[in-house]
Amino acid sequence: MRRLVRIASPLAALGLWQLLTSLDVNLWLRFEQFPTVVEVASAFADRVGTEAYWQDLGHSLRRIAVGFLLAAVLGVAAGTAVARSRWAADVLGPLVEVVRPVPAIALVPVAILLLPTNEQGIVFITCAAALFPVLVSTRHAVRALSPVWEEAVLTMGGGRARVLFSVVLPGALPGIFGGLSVGIGVSWICVISAEMISGEYGVGYRTWQDYTVVDYPGVFVGMATIGALGWLTSTAVETLGRRVTSWLPRPAERGGTGPGRAAASPAPAAPAPARTPSRSVPLPEKEPVP
C-alpha cells in the first residue's frame, strides 16, 4: 500500500502540472508560459540522445564526488578533534562558528581570487557547502557518547587510538551519516549555483544557458536532472549508512503484520513457582518477665 502511494503521489503531481499548463490557467499563479509535461518529456528525450548531456552529467558528478569526499574526510576529522580536544576546540571552534553562517555560494569571489581555475573553484565551493553539516553533526555525535565505554577500554589497557577506532567513531556513525546525508543535498545546491556563475560545463551551466536563450523545456530538463541526481546520491549515502551501522538495534516497525511477515508471538509467561505446603514452625516461648 505504501509503495502504491509513493508511486501515485508524483504521478498525481505530473497530472496536475499537465492540466494547469495545457489549460493556460492564470489565476494568482501564471501557468500560460510554463511548458507542459509532454513538452518537457520530448525535450528530455532529445537531450538524452546528445553527447553534451552526458558530458555535462559527468562534469557535475565528478565535482560532487571530489568535493563531497573532501568534505567528508575533513568534516569527520575536524568534528572529532573539536569534540575530543580542548586545544582543537579553542583553535578551530571560533573559526567554525564565524565561517559557518556564510553561504557557500557567497565564496565564489574568494574561489575566483584564490584558485587558478574555475574547476578547482567549483570543487572548493562544493566542499565548503558539505563541510560544516558534516563537522557539526560529528561534533555533536561524539560529545553525546557515554564515557562508560571509553573508561572500559582504558581499564582493559587500551590506548587512545583504540578508544578512537573502537568506541568513538563506531558510536558516532549514526550522527556522522546524518550529517553526510544533509551535506550531499547542500553540495548539489551549491555546485549547480557555482556552475551557473562560473562554470563552463555541467548541468547547472547548461540549465542557465537554456534560460538565457528562452528554452524553457530545456530548463525543466535540467531541473529534473538535478532532482534525480540529488535523490540518487542521497539514497546512496543513506543506504551506505544503514549498511555500515547494521549492527545497531533497529526500532520495531509500527502497524500490523503484513503478508510474508510472521507476527511476533508473545514471550511465554514464566512458570509460577511451585507452592510447597507450609509447615507450622513452633515459635519459641517467651520467658516470663520477673
Name the 3-class secondary structure at 140: helix
Residue 200's pLDDT is what? 79
Residue 262 has pLDDT above 80, yes or no: no
Residue 268's pLDDT is what? 46
**What is the mean predicted confidence (pLDDT) over 29-37?**
85
Residue scoring higher pLDDT (210 or 151): 210
Using 50, 70 and 90 to split pLDDT, how confident is the model at 276?
A: very low
Percent of the chain predicted with pLDDT > 70: 86
Residue 136's pLDDT is what? 93
Percent of the chain predicted with pLDDT > 90: 41
Render pLDDT for 179-207 as a digit per residue (tens, 0 to 9).
999 999 999 988 888 888 877 789 999 99
H-type alpha helices, the chain? 2-22, 37-48, 51-84, 86-99, 108-114, 118-143, 147-155, 160-163, 169-198, 203-212, 216-244
Determine the Cα–Cα distance for residues 175 and 260; give it in Å rounded to an integer.
33
Residue 149 near residue 131, CB atoms below 8 Å: no
Least confident of 2-16, 98-112, 246-260: 246-260
Residue 59 has pLDDT above 50, yes or no: yes
Residue 66 CB neighbour total at 10 angstroms: 17
- Supply the mean pLDDT for the chain: 83
C-alpha cell at 42: 520530448
Residue 279's pLDDT is what? 46
The C-alpha angle 35, 38, 42, rounded to 5 degrees, equals: 95
Using 50, 70 and 90 to split pLDDT, how confident is the model at 110?
A: confident
Residue 283 has pLDDT above 60, yes or no: no
Residue 267's pLDDT is what? 45
Determine the Cα–Cα distance for residues 57 and 48; give it in Å rounded to an integer.
10
Residue 148's pLDDT is what? 83
Using 50, 70 and 90 to split pLDDT, how confident is the model at 168?
A: confident
**What is the mean predicted confidence (pLDDT) over 42-70?**
92
